[in-house]
Amino acid sequence: MNLTLHVWRQKGPADEGRMVQYEVKDVSEHASFLEMLDVLNQQLIGRGEEPVAFEHDCREGICGSCGFMINGDAHGPMPGTTVCQLHMRHFKDGDVLHIEPWRSRAFPVLKDLVVDRGAFDRIIQAGGFISVATGEAPEANLIPVPKPVADRAMDAAQCIGCGACVAQCPNGAASLFTSAKVSHLNLLPQGQPERFDRALSMVEAMDREGFGYCSNHAECEAVCPKEISIDFIARMNRDYLKAKAQRGMKTPLQT
């Protein structure tokens, strides 16, 4: 198939950036979207031009580094799919595709489709841990966990930190990501000692990074490649408000 691509090109954080049009011909319908970009980059290199910078690692839908916008949709048109697992058979010959990086004040563009998602790392550092002794793994039945609780914790732990939720949210909120990281620990017995401190610390870290506030558009859930539920946001908010109440602190709505 033949495609017309409008790709965001930006040399660096200080550059204004612009959309540049490219024609890509004879693309196999069996190729992944990233493989199609590989073909484009080979053409650009052959002409002595700068290839398009984009992130990737596992190319198996696990690491989340491949994300960008395709025609206004984070990770493209297929639900529950990362860009690296999106195949060209889902597009038609002659399609025009607009490819842009995540758009968020908290995710500054580094080059072309590559953004700095270090804000996510700092949110995790604020509370994504438990204070248990390290060493040998405890016996599996020592701390019984009901299967529904374990399943729910695993649902939250599926988050790969790709940033699609932020990019798609009209407010640029990181609530789905943060709530998943809070909840997968707060649901388990091992996470109870820091439960409320964790919610407080991670939400405050999220706010410091400049993400917007969640207003329940649910766009984040719609584009999440792991289909994480916005129910976790409600759970995080409950723990956050309880932590505030325990400390007699004002919430953002009270200030």
The predicted-structure confidence for 174-228, as pLDDT tens digits, reads as follows 999 999 999 999 999 989 999 999 999 999 999 999 999 999 999 999 999 999 9
Cα-based angle 55, 167, 163 (whole degrees, multiple of 5): 50
The predicted-structure confidence for 216-249, as pLDDT tens digits, reads as follows 999 999 999 999 999 999 999 999 999 999 887 6
Residue 122 near residue 205 (C-beta atoms within 8 A): yes
Is the domain spanning 3-110 CATH 3.40.640.10? The answer is no
- 117-247 has which fold? Fumarate Reductase Iron-sulfur Protein; Chain B, domain 2 (1.10.1060)
Residue 204 near residue 97 (C-beta atoms within 8 A): no
pTM for this one?
0.91
Query: pLDDT class for 140, splitting at 50, 70, 90?
Result: low
Q: Which residues contact 45 (CB under 8 A, 6 or more apart)?
A: 51
- Domain parsing of the chain, residue ranges: 3-110, 117-247
Alpha-carbon radius of gyration of the chain: 20
The predicted-structure confidence for 17-35, as pLDDT tens digits, reads as follows 999 999 999 999 999 999 9
Cα-based angle 60, 78, 92 (whole degrees, multiple of 5): 105
CA distance 128 to 156: 13
Is 48's pLDDT higher than 90?
yes
Amino acid in position 163 = G
